[in-house]
Amino acid sequence: MRSMKAVILAAGAGRRMYPLTQETHKCLLPVGDSTLVDRMLEGLLQVGVSEVMLLTGYMHDQLQAHLGSAYKGMRLEYVFNERFEDTNNVVSLLRALQGYDLRDEFLLLEADLIFDFSVLRRAVDSPASEVAILAPFKSGMDGTVAELREGWVHDIIPPERQQRDGVTRYKTVNIYKFSHAFAYGPLLQMLAYYTERFEENCYYEKILGMLIYAGQLRLKGEVLGDEAWAELDDPHDVVRAQAIFDGQRLLNQLEYNFGGLWNFPVIDFNFIRNIYFPTDAMVEEMRQKLPDLMHNYGSRQAVMDGKMATFLRCQEEPLILLNGASQAYPILAEFYAGKKVLIPSPTFGEYSRVFSDADTFRDHPDESQDLSARLGSYGLVVLVNPNNPTGTLWSTATLWKWISEHPQVDFLVDESFIDFSDQPSLTTLEALPNLIVLKSLGKSLGVPGLRMGYLYTHKRELHDFFQVRLPIWNNNSLAEFFLETGLKHRDALQRSFVATRLERERMKGLLAGCPGVGRIWPSAANFFLVEITAEVDLEAILRQMLRLSGIYVKDISSKVDCRALRIAVRTAEDNDLFVECWKKCYPLAARPATSAGRA
């Protein structure tokens, strides 16, 4: 293994990272069981780096006191940029090259990076003398990007020159390999000239772009694949990095967050939505309209109720559009305070939370679902159809019969998953004054982030009780436009329900052939409740699947009387990956036969 040098640019104050960096250097923030800089040095050591120069500024003494003059035999040198507060990394790199002759090729890294060590290997092993590590550009990335032609960087584009024009671009990871000849020739000369004549508060990538344009730099682009990396610019980045690079922490973080999964590299089999809707055409319409929608208020509640009724093709008068179905729970709890309530068990957690003193009936495939003998003694009966997490379904005719036969009892029927079944909604039948239908539209429309749901009731007292508790602006303009444009895509929505049902049955067959899978409960929703046999270490297999393929799935053992997962139905490709990953991880999580009986 040849000896290499490295330069780490670590002068900045990291103000976007406040308050984390008010008393701690950015490099010394903990990620897992190490600090950012210690982890970086460990990676450099593994690819054969023998000497590292750290360009410092902010909290120089703290960083140097932490690291000292060597790291596991790797020599550490420091160059101090006394003007770190009013200059950018273009000056730091100039100070490094002027103050220290590295005498050989070297790696250039910025201090706010965390990465798999294989990322460094990509730069070291490349036969090119000048190399940039790049990553496919994804929404949410910021900073400098690059254009490639036949594997070579054609242009480096700083943020102020970027535009949406359909050209494929790559994010610069801020890891480079440079030869001594280039670094101490064209690069040093241009850095000195540009900072003296023009500006000192810019990024060094701007200089690299100039040298490419002038034909003085031929820069090879090494594009990452599955290698993990992250740039830490703010406290949210730290949370993401800690989860991604600490396998034990990722699952805990996902369960704590209860959403925000765009921040993590996961395939979500936990949160349940229609994976086949909205269509690409709808998403593009939303994207084109986004500036207008962001800059304008949505319409008042009464207008939104009308647009929802038009979209659903139902009466407007009994309908109330909600900011997600969850908005209804505290209002329902207030309205039915003191009433005797019956709810299913298990079911969606909000019902047991808001009706904490409710009686329950057991939802299990081995037990009768005929509740007619119990219904008359309650003020409110909650039915979730299909139920979450079991997928149990009553026929709409059965529910209508129970509701019509017990006019003194109010029935709250949650139809959030009804579209994935073969049953019609109760809203399509004759009006009953004791019926309340609640529905979360994030599940069926595939847009939980838009926060839409509705309450539908002819119980005037309850309807008015809701209306006076809702603000004039209860929904956002994105949700409003979605309802408007959705009128053109009703056929596609119906096709998405059919596609979900077909894939549900296919996936059921795939799961049935997996080791460690017991009973698969009958489901009329877009998910399965799957019992897991005793020999499987459930926590271990979930962490292995998350680590290996980014698969995130819900352990609901605490809600049912068995060890079980609730698995969402996704695309065929995702579902095949789930099954493949399960089979691969099963041997790693199977308990010895002697302990299975004690599980």
- What mean pLDDT do residues 310-320 have? 94
pLDDT at 12: 86
Fold (topology level) of 299-475: Aspartate Aminotransferase; domain 2 (3.40.640)
Helices 477-486 and 280-294, packing angle to 10 deg: 140
pLDDT at 372: 87
pLDDT at 159: 65
Q: Are 112 and 36 in contact (CB under 8 A)?
A: yes
> Is pLDDT above 50 for 57?
yes
- What mean pLDDT do residues 58-75 have? 91
Q: How far is CA 228 from the centre of its chain?
A: 15
Q: What is the largest CA-CA distance in the chain?
A: 90
Write the pLDDT tens digit of every residue in 176-231: 999 999 999 999 999 999 999 988 888 899 999 999 999 999 999 999 988 888 88
Q: Are 520 and 365 in contact (CB under 8 A)?
A: no
Write the pLDDT tens digit of every residue in 33-46: 888 999 999 999 99
- What mean pLDDT do residues 224-242 have? 84
pLDDT at 494: 97
Encode 116-148: b = buried (16+ Cβ within 10 Å), e = exposed: eebbbebbbebebebbbbbbeeeeeeebbbbbb
> Is pLDDT above 80 for 314?
yes
Write the pLDDT tens digit of every residue in 491-524: 999 999 999 999 999 999 999 989 999 999 999 9
Domain 263-274+493-596 has CATH 3.90.1150.10: yes
> Is pLDDT above 90 for 336?
yes
Structure-block tokens of residue 96: 């490094």
Q: How confident is the model at residue 265 (pLDDT cuts 50, 70, 90)?
A: confident
Pairing relationship of beta strands 410-414 and 453-457 according to DSSP bridges: unpaired
Task: Please state, in angstroms and rounded to a whole number, the distance separating the CA atoms of residues 97 and 129.
Answer: 18
More confident residue, 577 or 254: 577
Residues sharing a CB contact under 8 Å with residue 475, sequence separation 6 or more, in sequence order? 298, 301, 304, 321, 323, 451, 452
3-state secondary structure 527-548: EEEEEECCCECHHHHHHHHHHH
The residue written with tokens 């069981």 in the block is: 33
Q: How confident is the model at residue 139 (pLDDT cuts 50, 70, 90)?
A: low
pLDDT at 407: 97
Lowest mean per-residue pLDDT among 19-28, 131-140, 247-256: 247-256
Task: Please state, in angstroms and rounded to a whole number, the distance separating the CA atoms of residues 171 and 368.
Answer: 58
Amino acid (1-letter code) at residue 588: L
pLDDT at 45: 93
pLDDT at 262: 84
Structure-block tokens of residue 384: 């979730």
Write the pLDDT tens digit of every residue in 463-486: 999 999 999 999 999 999 999 999
Q: Are 308 and 319 in contact (CB under 8 A)?
A: yes
> Is pLDDT above 70 for 2?
no
- Give the whole-number percent of the chain exceeding pLDDT 90: 67
Is the pTM higher than 0.85? The answer reads no
More confident residue, 564 or 593: 564
Task: Please state, in angstroms and rounded to a whole number, the distance separating the CA atoms of residues 264 and 257.
Answer: 11
> Is pLDDT above 60 for 241?
yes
Task: Please state, in angstroms and rounded to a whole number, the distance separating the CA atoms of residues 411 and 372.
Answer: 13
Torsion of CA 448, 450, 456, 462, to 10 degrees: 110
Every domain range in the chain assigned CATH 3.90.1150.10: 263-274+493-596
Q: Is 418 exposed, middle or buried (0-12, 13-18, 19+ CB in 10 A)?
A: buried
Q: Are 454 and 441 in contact (CB under 8 A)?
A: yes
Write the pLDDT tens digit of every residue in 84-127: 888 888 888 999 898 878 788 999 999 999 998 999 999 999 99
Q: How confident is the model at residue 164 (pLDDT cuts 50, 70, 90)?
A: low
Give SS3 for 263.
helix
Task: Please state, in angstroms and rounded to a whole number, the distance separating the CA atoms of residues 51 and 46.
Answer: 12
Q: Is the dihedral of CA 198, 201, 204, 205 positive or negative?
A: negative
Write the pLDDT tens digit of every residue in 363-398: 987 777 788 889 999 999 999 999 999 999 999 999
Determine the Cα angle at 500 with ends 494 and 506, to 5°. 145
Helices 460-467 and 328-335, packing angle to 10 deg: 130
> Is pLDDT above 80 for 279?
yes
Every domain range in the chain assigned CATH 3.40.640.10: 299-475
Q: Are 308 and 318 in contact (CB under 8 A)?
A: no
More confident residue, 171 or 160: 171
Structure-block tokens of residue 411: 């029935």
pLDDT at 31: 82
Phi, psi (5° rounding) for residue 74? -90, 125
Count Cα neighbours of 469 within 13 Å in the Cβ-side half-sphere: 17
Taking residue 328's Cβ as centre, other Cβ atoms within 10 Å add up to 25
The candidate with the shortest Cα–Cα distance to 115, out of 228, 11, 198, is 228
Q: How many residues does the chain have?
A: 599
Fold (topology level) of 4-237: Spore Coat Polysaccharide Biosynthesis Protein SpsA; Chain A (3.90.550)
Write the pLDDT tens digit of every residue in 406-449: 999 999 999 999 999 999 999 999 999 999 999 999 999 999 99
pLDDT at 595: 40
115, 520, 558, 593 from 533: Cα distances, Å: 37, 11, 15, 12
Task: Please state, in angstroms and rounded to a whole number, the distance separating the CA atoms of residues 402 and 376.
Answer: 10
- What mean pLDDT do residues 447-454 have? 96
Q: Are 44 and 107 in contact (CB under 8 A)?
A: yes
40, 303, 308, 416, 429 from 317: Cα distances, Å: 62, 12, 11, 20, 15
pLDDT at 140: 63
- What mean pLDDT do residues 575-588 have? 93
pLDDT at 165: 56
> Is pLDDT above 50 for 488?
yes
